[in-house]
Structure 1
């Protein structure tokens, strides 16, 4: 028993003698272990970067500014929880009833409770330019009582006493060149009003993420449009009461509130921080999980290749008396040294990659620029454990075959490569192909967006199938097309074809991951182009307005502007458009599922004159009250029918069960959910439209109408008149930042695969020193050997593109069918050229470089060397 325990411990923790022997073998096989080291370094970098992002999302926060004096800050539940660990953030601020303020104030230990409202506004400078907050952060209005939560101190003047008076924070006044007792224009929504500045205030700490304007409490409540709601409640503690004690007391006494203390107070004050944390956690966990699987596969396959290249050496060790357990101990120690060193070295570029990914998040608008990264030891430890585990497993799997055979068989087996794939590997690969075809083309998946999602996800099945059947597919391709890729009439072509057929297992080690990379890149690039082309086609066909109103600085357009432009001569139809994100809950198998969809709010009156949704079923004119129109994709996803009710969560968390009145086709271009305009406005934070579409009457002079519209909106300084294209650029249009983040993650993924492919090609080619020397000694020139390797490079490129195309076509057809009902995906010429060019550059460059390295020594010296 004790002996077994010792053997187990030795397998987990190598002895110093094992490590010394491993170090000597590593020094003697620098080429093979160098490639393994590179794979581990790159894998460690990617895993570390994802870990840093995940840790930052879980633990990061932004220091409260206006709530810095509050011991506890209360907010509403800002997330819809899919399960105990997964949430979806509401797109609008969820508010609390005003009665909650009194209930909190009555809790023992509370000195005072202050309800706060946020009024989105624009401050106009004397030259009528909009004065923004610091670093273009917003300017928000509040009631004067909320000034105590910072606390703000009056540096000049006094507090506001009448509805026409305001107090500005001193830094905002400096940026706008506003003096005490000056009259300023403040625009709420689109409506400007004049206020007299009666005071300037300063906070104990600098306002870095906002500027503050204070009205009287009654005026702030009126401007918010919600007299019975507050955005948050700041609580000041009684003497001797700690924030933790106060938080527990409030939790027990006041249900329905979310209690925040410490750094979490900033999540209530700044919704974008909470949104960014949720997004970072979700994407880092999802992408990180995918990358862990790929990294483990690549590291294991690279290490397996390096050990296979030493099969002669291992067989000789068996022949001179080495025991199987000694082989295992040696390889175990080698893998430990290489993986441990590589994982630690990879942590440094991993930290740099994490900050680079953060910059892309900020560029895409998915993360505020002041979102701080948290760098700790946990991501590095996780990377270390994963890399070492995958390396040790790979070493054990490869050593197992050498160690279990007899010494005589080992020598004979080392001379040739195995000609058959394992039956388990072969079975898995053959089963995955029909399963992938069923998911993409056989209507097995749920309809709607699930069909498109399943088709896009099914590419992983084809990628795994490529990994399992890659050697066999390459051998078949050589039999069918080998003579056309390399003409046998030339010596180099004959040698390349013969060498590839004799060593197809070795060549497939490079072809297979390259084909996997081609598949993933093609599905990502052409899937995105298919979705974008489908949306553009729907917008071009469906957008029928002649003009569009938008707002500068994202201020939005108030309903009063819509009424004003309706009275302009020559205007036939006016359609206000408000946008938000909604959540749909629907039955799914034995439970329920919830998904997020883009929604718009419109008026149904002559809607098809400004926006043709391509109605399939129902009557769009019935879009009034608690009703909803759904795109075909969403209707199929949630199993909705015209006349039935669905469960829908609006942007501010309000749950309704509207009746479906219409199903339409053009959801990609205009939004998958269409609601009455007044319903959407009532549940957005700012209660304004994002854009207004205008259709002119027949025979109207467009230039004259445009001038008339400019005159009608002149009293509203933030409203702009534009053409149809202005509608597409309005806030909320398009796909947001998703495409930027997808591009980021796919770039990292494909970059790692490219490193793995280059690494494998270099390892496989550089190990052929003795083979090249033998060819030279029997008469081949260096140029002929280079030409032979160029022929092998052609085989790699041809096979990778062929297998990648075959694995890409079914998912793209299924994706296109799910989104547009057309089996023809949109293929961009630039995308095809880029994928082919990268494939050629990676394979040809790696093989050429490795061939030059392998030919650096004279043939007579190289023939006596080791593999």
Structure 2
């Protein structure tokens, strides 16, 4: 590692004398390089954190438990691959045909092959107490043949041989206080059956930390799964002398349609949440890490530009006494090499802390299991080091170009005043991006449907870049229009603040521009989320008309048998079961096809509007039978679906169907964008249950009396409970619930880095005015007057950042709201707005005030003779 760094330094800076000169410059101007160091160190921390998450997703996971005795675990393909590197995980378990077990067993090198079945169950003791798995994990039922995959051994009693016999793992039996001969009820879905405990199974050496195991006869396990001709996975043991990798290749070559897993990947099959987490961590960390690399380059380049601008007299003098452009490039490059090397190394330690902090947010959002291991290797540190050094060298080269190309005669004169004009390329890009952004957000240029909302949200980047390019012009205009209103000209400090802002608008805009960009990004994130949440809540409240909602206390769902039980209760008018899953819609897009994931629900069409009013736009939801589908307006516009036509749909377990579109509706945000027949959805969920059941009372029925009647009818279903409309919103569904937390995490990290850059820039630009403050004091200005002057400048910076930041937010938010709700008025969170304004004021005012006090510490007589 050390040898590599030495070679990298020699490669980036060819001559050691440049390093020596650069080190002397850094020691003499420590303050000028602190800003660059901070920007690089913060960038290194973020890149390191993303690298650690990425490597953890690629190489770690959760150690298998019940499959710990296997050499290879075989499963179906659990993902739909959009391309060679991008996948979408199916929300339900994809199963295998049971006849694959015999085919695998016949492959040379296979000692044994066992088909495994998972059935989620609830264990209810004789006193009515429900016992779950360790630390809240579930309990699964399996066929006894699957016990060999652990391997499990019978410690007490015997193996199950009859349909009503069961063996419990030792930990579950101890927590439930059960022993051989006891009677226990197992609830599958909502149906409870009594079993006799005939044995206690001892788990494999590692024990069971993420589940509890219940073993039945193989035939009973197949019956309870509802899929007697399917298995969830196949566990394989290798013959003596055959390696796992070699055996996996043999099996996949001989038996098509199988995916082989070895080592830690076996846990992905045993625990679907681990595989989901692995995919999500890899995708999100790679995407966000790439974005952060670009942001780091931009911030580092901006910081270096300010640093070089503060040294323009020094650099101009070097040009005037004969320094060549190449020598200027070499000197700045050497400085950046040393600063970036130090900053990258220092930022790695907080990067580790940040990675574990991000892991906790993933866990909080239910996007990562708590026992998902983190991998801290040398690759993320090396990547962070290289990226930071390359970014710094690139930024140094960009800011050195202007100084290096000026002729020696013009150098000193050019350094005396602040440049007023922007480069024509920068100006053209900034101006042209504004109408382009408006076209994408406020016109019909974007694809309709959710693509319009997505495009509007993405268009914020165009406005952010535009603000970055023409920020000095916008800032100069704000000073001309609002400057006198922000600072009274009748006072000395107000006059000085206004005059300084006009004369040094380029310098102040360097600080105000990134602040405005941060305001824009924060506002779009906060107000975009509030618009979506408010619309979803409004649609749910307006469309949900059920009086009672039945859900499962165990989280396993409600069995279809419960629907028949409550339909016969006196006073019940309509019963609507609701199943949930995620589906994939594939549709033509330009010259190819696109695939998107949508939340789907399965309902029965009989008097659906009495319990759930979807606000039908076209067609009739009463036709939701067989292979049919109803789509929300947003999705119908996105996939160009028409009534009577079919769409390409992949259900939660990967089954491909082509349902006919029978209706479109408006309330997709509240109830799901895809509505299918209930039996179709239930048949393709892992547990084959409903998420909830909606019950509408008949006219004139007393709701309290009906509540009691429902509870009486549900006595034989111990896990089903009766609730109100709020229970429907909290009923179990498939995915997406933690997306807001992950979005908030990444936006917080991004905005946090931008905040560091803003504070960094403000402190650098203010602290560099030591001689200016000293001169003002020597001609009679009091320290309080100078601080008041800087407060005036802070008002201008803060006002300009908020003004242009919020203005840049308006078009994307209007476009998002129009695309999602057909209303151009977004829902603006007052609390969110107050927080954004407060943070902006604190960052700008606090940074300027702190730097001003620091710059005024030296005595004026001493400071006036110091360096610029």
Q: What's the TM-score, normalizing by structure 1?
A: 0.98
- Name the counterpart of 1:164: 164
Q: Distance in 1 between matches of 2:35 and 2:606?
A: 67
Q: CA deviation digits over 1:118-160, x for unaligned, max 9?
A: 0010011343222111111110000001111111111000000
Would you say the 8 A contact 2:12–2:337 is kept in 1? Answer: no
- Name the counterpart of 1:256: 257
What's the offset of the Cα at 1:14? 4.1
Would you say the 8 A contact 1:11–1:329 is kept in 2? Answer: no
Bigger CA drift: 263-272 or 192-201? 263-272
Q: Distance in 1 between matches of 2:560 and 2:333?
A: 72
> Are residue 216 (structure 1) and residue 217 (structure 2) matched?
yes
What's the offset of the Cα at 1:821? 0.2
Q: Distance in 2 between matches of 1:359 and 1:251?
A: 37
Q: Distance in 2 between matches of 1:764 and 1:553?
A: 59
What's the offset of the Cα at 1:10? 7.4
Q: Distance in 2 between matches of 1:238 and 1:811?
A: 61
Q: Distance in 2 between matches of 1:247 and 1:283?
A: 29
Bigger CA drift: 327-336 or 819-828? 327-336
Would you say the 8 A contact 2:301–2:398 is kept in 1? Answer: no
- Name the counterpart of 1:822: 823
What are the within-5 Å matches in structure 2 for residues 196-235 of structure 1?
Answer: 196-204=196-204, 205-235=206-236
What's the offset of the Cα at 1:555? 1.6
What's the offset of the Cα at 1:115? 0.6
SS at match of 1:365: coil
Pair 241,12 (structure 1): closer, same or farther in 2 beyond 3 Å:
closer
Would you say the 8 A contact 2:189–2:689 is kept in 1? Answer: yes
Would you say the 8 A contact 1:299–1:387 is kept in 2? Answer: no
> Are residue 595 (structure 1) and residue 596 (structure 2) matched?
yes
- Name the counterpart of 2:760: 759
- Name the counterpart of 1:13: 13
Bigger CA drift: 248-257 or 404-413? 404-413
Would you say the 8 A contact 1:518–1:801 is kept in 2? Answer: yes
Q: CA deviation digits over 1:549-576, x for unaligned, max 9?
A: 0111212100111111111100000000
- Name the counterpart of 2:4: none
Bigger CA drift: 516-525 or 111-120? 111-120
SS at match of 1:325: helix
Any stretches of 5+ residues in structure 1 without a counterpart?
1-7
What's the offset of the Cα at 1:735? 4.7
Q: Distance in 1 between matches of 2:14 and 2:339?
A: 13
Q: Distance in 1 between matches of 2:824 and 2:304?
A: 41
What are the within-5 Å matches in structure 2 for residues 107-126 of structure 1?
Answer: 107-126=107-126
> Are residue 45 (structure 1) and residue 45 (structure 2) matched?
yes
> Are residue 516 (structure 1) and residue 505 (structure 2) matched?
no
Pair 804,225 (structure 1): closer, same or farther in 2 beyond 3 Å:
same
Q: Distance in 2 between matches of 1:656 and 1:538?
A: 28
What are the within-5 Å matches in structure 2 for residues 565-580 of structure 1?
Answer: 565-580=566-581
Q: Distance in 2 between matches of 1:553 and 1:296?
A: 50
Q: Distance in 1 between matches of 2:88 and 2:56?
A: 18
Bigger CA drift: 235-244 or 280-289? 235-244
Would you say the 8 A contact 1:535–1:669 is kept in 2? Answer: yes
Q: Distance in 1 between matches of 2:11 and 2:429?
A: 30
- Name the counterpart of 1:620: 621
Q: CA deviation digits over 1:310-360, x for unaligned, max 9?
A: 111111122233232222221111100000100010010011000000001
Q: CA deviation digits over 1:423-457, x for unaligned, max 9?
A: 00001001100000000001111000000000000
Q: Distance in 1 between matches of 2:327 and 2:623?
A: 79
- Name the counterpart of 1:96: 96
SS at match of 1:800: helix
Any stretches of 5+ residues in structure 2 without a counterpart?
1-7
Would you say the 8 A contact 1:187–1:193 is kept in 2? Answer: yes
Q: Distance in 2 between matches of 1:295 and 1:818?
A: 32
- Name the counterpart of 2:378: 377
Q: Distance in 1 between matches of 2:83 and 2:319?
A: 55
- Name the counterpart of 1:773: 774
SS at match of 2:292: helix
What's the offset of the Cα at 1:241? 2.2
The alignment covers a number of residue pairs equal to 860
SS at match of 2:700: coil
Bigger CA drift: 233-242 or 331-340? 233-242
Q: CA deviation digits over 1:781-832, x for unaligned, max 9?
A: 1111101100000000100010011100000000000000000000111111
- Name the counterpart of 1:788: 789
Q: Distance in 2 between matches of 1:558 and 1:12?
A: 66
Would you say the 8 A contact 1:543–1:611 is kept in 2? Answer: yes
- Name the counterpart of 1:730: 731
- Name the counterpart of 1:292: 293
Q: Distance in 1 between matches of 2:396 and 2:659?
A: 59
What are the within-5 Å matches in structure 2 for residues 464-503 of structure 1?
Answer: 464-503=465-504
Q: CA deviation digits over 1:69-112, x for unaligned, max 9?
A: 11111100000000011000000000000111111111122222
- Name the counterpart of 2:390: 389
Would you say the 8 A contact 2:91–2:734 is kept in 1? Answer: no
- Name the counterpart of 1:192: 192
- Name the counterpart of 1:564: 565
Pair 734,701 (structure 1): closer, same or farther in 2 beyond 3 Å:
farther
Q: CA deviation digits over 1:630-687, x for unaligned, max 9?
A: 0000000111011000000000000000000000000000000000000000000000
> Are residue 85 (structure 1) and residue 91 (structure 2) matched?
no
Q: Distance in 2 between matches of 1:726 and 1:241?
A: 53
Q: Distance in 2 between matches of 1:436 and 1:369?
A: 41
Q: How well do the aligned residues superpose, as a CA RMSD in angstroms?
A: 1.2
> Are residue 646 (structure 1) and residue 647 (structure 2) matched?
yes
Q: Distance in 2 between matches of 1:484 and 1:451?
A: 39
Bigger CA drift: 544-553 or 230-239? 230-239
Q: Distance in 2 between matches of 1:547 and 1:811?
A: 40
Bigger CA drift: 767-776 or 404-413? 404-413
- Name the counterpart of 2:460: 459
Q: Distance in 2 between matches of 1:602 and 1:357?
A: 38
Q: Distance in 2 between matches of 1:437 and 1:127?
A: 66
SS at match of 1:634: helix
- Name the counterpart of 2:811: 810
What's the offset of the Cα at 1:486? 1.2
Ranges of 4+ aligned residues in structure 1 off by more than 6 Å? 8-11
SS at match of 1:554: coil
- Name the counterpart of 1:4: none
- Name the counterpart of 1:173: 173
Q: Distance in 1 between matches of 2:716 and 2:662?
A: 38
Q: Distance in 2 between matches of 1:702 and 1:631?
A: 32
- Name the counterpart of 1:3: none
What are the within-5 Å matches in structure 2 for residues 402-421 of structure 1?
Answer: 402-421=403-422
SS at match of 2:804: helix
Q: Distance in 2 between matches of 1:249 and 1:208?
A: 32
Q: Distance in 2 between matches of 1:627 and 1:155?
A: 52
SS at match of 1:167: strand
- Name the counterpart of 2:237: 236
Q: Distance in 1 between matches of 2:421 and 2:93?
A: 61
Q: Distance in 1 between matches of 2:125 and 2:491?
A: 79
Q: Distance in 1 between matches of 2:582 and 2:736?
A: 12
- Name the counterpart of 2:3: none
Would you say the 8 A contact 1:631–1:672 is kept in 2? Answer: yes
SS at match of 2:595: strand
- Name the counterpart of 2:140: 140
Would you say the 8 A contact 1:602–1:674 is kept in 2? Answer: yes
Pair 708,27 (structure 1): closer, same or farther in 2 beyond 3 Å:
same
What's the offset of the Cα at 1:9? 10
SS at match of 1:233: strand
Q: Distance in 2 between matches of 1:642 and 1:580?
A: 23
Q: Distance in 2 between matches of 1:623 and 1:490?
A: 75
